[in-house]
Structure 1
Amino acid sequence: MSLEEQIRQLEEEIKNTPYNKATEHHIGRLKAKLARLREEAEKQKAKTGRPSFSIKKDGDATVVLVGFPSVGKSSLLNALTGAKSEIGAYDFTTLKPVPGMLEYNGAKIQIIDLPGIVEGASKGRGKGREIISAVRNSDLVVIIADPFNLESIKIIQRELYNGGIRLNQKPPEVYVKKLERGGLKITSTVPLSIDEQTIYEVLREYRIHNAEVLIREDVTVDRFIDAILRNRVYIPAIVVVNKIDLYNPGNLPDSVIPVSAEKKINLDLLAKSIYEKLDLIRIFLKPPGGKADLNEPMIIKRGMTVGDVCKKLHKDMYRNFRYARVIGKSAKFKEQRVGIDHVLEDGDILTIYA
């Protein structure tokens, strides 16, 4: 039996098995086996030279537009960035990625219009694997639907999930330390919904027989499997419904952003949402003894440190770092002297001494 046949068989068995306490262990083992077989199938396809898009990342962050064909991704790219992505009244107008640059609040955000995704993309249908590969390397996913096929949103989310992409999630707080001997030791700092036997079944499926496992959240079986595989990517996402000028927006879920690329409706709201979801902040550099350049901010991710800024400027700056001074929200007092691990905040003025 081929890998694909085994995968289909397992998918059917999981779908048809009622979930209860009696079947919990069995389903956990099946899900672990399914994830393992999918990974093996991907590795086999990679050996045959799986194609990928050639995308040069540019700017402070990269955002991809993902949606079914003919939902207006190209029109939206053009409206946001002034790019020249071809627009047509038929499916699959965009056959390769088309980039544009959105400038917002001092940040240069690369927006990439990807070819239309279709159901079955995670299994290679259409340009599915190339699209999923491009999404995995992005900083933000913008899922685009039109108001007449909102079901496409769930289909896209499912295809990306099956491609190992976890939208709007954080990595599971599960830590597995493999050992040479000693068996399995499971430690949890929180009450768990899944029992130890299910955890043992999943570990055995991956031939982990000696390990220390520390669990710091109430994980599901799926997130526990993700923690073992360690090949998932966690990317923020927003959902946009285009062509809103043709539909009553009052019938849309609150979680989506209604826009019209053609009529230029809510484009400012979308740009603001992209910037905020990327969690970018601005800092201003001040040379020792000089004045701060308040016209050209450096854009960094929230949570970055002085050391991260040094690395971004030049590797020698990090290697030769002595200390820094900060004016702004992250400082306890004016021109606080800080070390390399100091976490910066939006609007900080930073002087580095190296």
Structure 2
Amino acid sequence: MGLMERIKEIESEMARTQKNKATNYHLGTLKAKLAKLRSELFLEQSGGGGGGGTGEGFDVARNGDARVALIGFPSVGKSSLLGALTATESEAAAYEFTTLTCIPGVLQYKGSKIQVLDLPGIIEGAAHGAGRGKEVIAVARSADAILIVLDAGKEQGNRHREILERELETVGIRLNQRPPDVTVTKRKSGGGIRFASTVPQPQLGPEPEKIVTNILREYKITTADVLAREEISVDQLVDVVLGNRMYKPCLYLYNKIDTITIEEVDQLARLSHSVVGSVRSQFNIGEPLEDDLLKARLWEYLGLTRIYTKRKGSPPDLEEPVVLSEIRKGTTVKSLCANVSSELLREFNYALVWGTSAKHSPQRCGLSHTLDDEDVVQIVSKTIKQQQQDKNYNVISQQFNDKHAKKRLEAKKQKQQRLRG
């Protein structure tokens, strides 16, 4: 029996099983088996690579401060949206599947450069390779955030939002969720599965330890300590055990609202994580360099922060901010130093911070201080005496001398070649 047949068999059994206390353990085991089979199926279809390898036309180099993937069914306006956001030409037409590869563009907003990827339309069954779903989903896994584009006029009867959520859920992409606060620590010695929780676990039934043990044994884990610091479901526990789930912020854009009534627009606008707009009518979606609601919401979901730097005795540089990403490296002083130079991080002494994150201006802060948007930061390096007290000073000093000795040798060789030539 193939993987697809086994998946369908388990799904059918889960649909037939009534949900109550008596079947709680059985359903939990079935969910664990189903998640395991789906992971195996995705790996099999992607050629065994954990990331789901991209195909020809889908390998786009990572660029900019953040990456957003446009996902949606065919003919919902993704190509037109890419042009409105980035001024990039992507073929748009009245027929389906106009875009056949990944088309990149760069959105410039608030001093940042956001890479936007226009992906081919996907259809139901994309998670199992239908259409070019495998390649599209692989790119979605590499994005910092996902923008799902929906046709406002077709959404009510087709439930496209629900279908796309299910397709991404199937391949382990969790939308607008955070990783559950659960740790699973494997032990070498015996003792079985030990489960502890700081809060009640009603979703795991009257005997949580029993269902946790069943799920872990499904993945051949027989000795481990499990600690839950929040209320979790069976699906969340399975996600922690698998360890390959990706948690992405997702914004839903209902395009073409000029084709529906104002009552329907109001209903869609009230849905969670949603924005309504029209590329054609430029409603909530302006020109590439204009400020509009969609760009503002994307900035918010990407967790981007502008930091202005200054030198001692000089005014801050307000022309070119350093853009930090909460999703990538964080928005701390340490992230700022790492973003600018590894040498700056090594020689860091303290930072002076002006802005909303500071209790007073300026505030002297360490590497762990979290910065807010439009803060001004001055990095103060260690003095020579402080650097000499570092236990790695001799190694760093030798590396510095070697680097400059190499440069001097190269300069000498070039001078000799000019004299000969």
TM-score by length of 2: 0.81
Q: Distance in 1 between matches of 2:311 and 2:63?
A: 26
Query: 1:134 deviation in Å?
Result: 0.7
| Partner SS state of residue 47, structure 1 | coil
- RMSD in angstroms over aligned alpha carbons? 1.5
Q: Distance in 2 between matches of 1:249 and 1:166?
A: 31
Deviates more, 1:236-245 or 1:99-108: 99-108
Q: Distance in 1 between matches of 2:301 and 2:47?
A: 36
- 8 Å CA contact retained: 2:39, 2:171: no
User: What is the match of residue 105 of structure 2?
Assistant: 100
Instruction: Output one character per residue of 1:154-188: Cα deviation in whole Å (capped at 9) or x when no partner.
Output: 10111011111000000011100000122211110
Q: Distance in 1 between matches of 2:128 and 2:242?
A: 19
Amino acid of the structure 2 residue aligned with 1:258: V
Amino acid of the structure 2 residue aligned with 1:34: L
User: What is the match of residue 184 of structure 1?
Assistant: 193
Amino acid of the structure 1 residue aligned with 2:308: F
Instruction: Output one character per residue of 1:203-249: Cα deviation in whole Å (capped at 9) or x when no partner.
Output: 11111111111001111100110011110110111111111111114
Deviates more, 1:296-305 or 1:172-181: 296-305
User: What is the match of residue 325 of structure 1?
Assistant: 352
Instruction: Output one character per residue of 1:38-93: Cα deviation in whole Å (capped at 9) or x when no partner.
Output: 22222333336754320122221111111000011101111122110101111110
- 8 Å CA contact retained: 2:38, 2:171: no
2:243 to 230, 244, 263: 230
Deviates more, 1:182-191 or 1:290-299: 290-299
User: What is the match of residue 231 of structure 2?
Assistant: 218
Query: 1:3 deviation in Å?
Result: 1.9
Alignment of 1:271 onto 2:298: no
Q: How does 1:131-150 map to 2 (within 5 A)?
A: 131-150=136-155
- 8 Å CA contact retained: 2:75, 2:94: yes
User: What is the match of residue 386 of structure 2?
Assistant: none
Q: Distance in 2 between matches of 1:250 and 1:269?
A: 20
Query: 1:17 deviation in Å?
Result: 1.4
Distance 1:130 1:319, change over 3 A: same
Amino acid of the structure 2 residue aligned with 1:155: I
Q: Where in structure 2 are there 5+ consecutive unaligned residues?
A: 286-291, 382-421
- 8 Å CA contact retained: 1:249, 1:258: no
Q: Distance in 1 between matches of 2:90 and 2:260?
A: 25
Query: 1:327 deviation in Å?
Result: 1.2
Distance 1:39 1:48, change over 3 A: closer
User: What is the match of residue 377 of structure 2?
Assistant: 350
Alignment of 1:43 onto 2:20: no
Q: Distance in 1 between matches of 2:80 and 2:233?
A: 40
Alignment of 1:175 onto 2:180: no
Q: Distance in 1 between matches of 2:14 and 2:60?
A: 37
User: What is the match of residue 396 of structure 2?
Assistant: none
Deviates more, 1:294-303 or 1:168-177: 294-303
| Partner SS state of residue 322, structure 1 | strand
- 8 Å CA contact retained: 2:192, 2:222: yes
Q: Which has the larger radius of gyration?
A: 2
1:161 to 158, 169, 180: 169
- 8 Å CA contact retained: 2:184, 2:227: yes
1:62 to 62, 67, 86: 67
Q: Where in structure 1 are there 5+ consecutive unaligned residues?
A: none
User: What is the match of residue 336 of structure 2?
Assistant: 309
TM-score by length of 1: 0.96
Alignment of 1:201 onto 2:219: no
Amino acid of the structure 2 residue aligned with 1:280: L
User: What is the match of residue 6 of structure 2?
Assistant: 6
User: What is the match of residue 296 of structure 1?
Assistant: 320
Instruction: Output one character per residue of 1:78-120: Cα deviation in whole Å (capped at 9) or x when no partner.
Output: 1122110101111110011111222222222221111101100
Q: Distance in 1 between matches of 2:310 and 2:179?
A: 36
2:310 to 278, 286, 289: 286
Deviates more, 1:76-85 or 1:246-255: 246-255
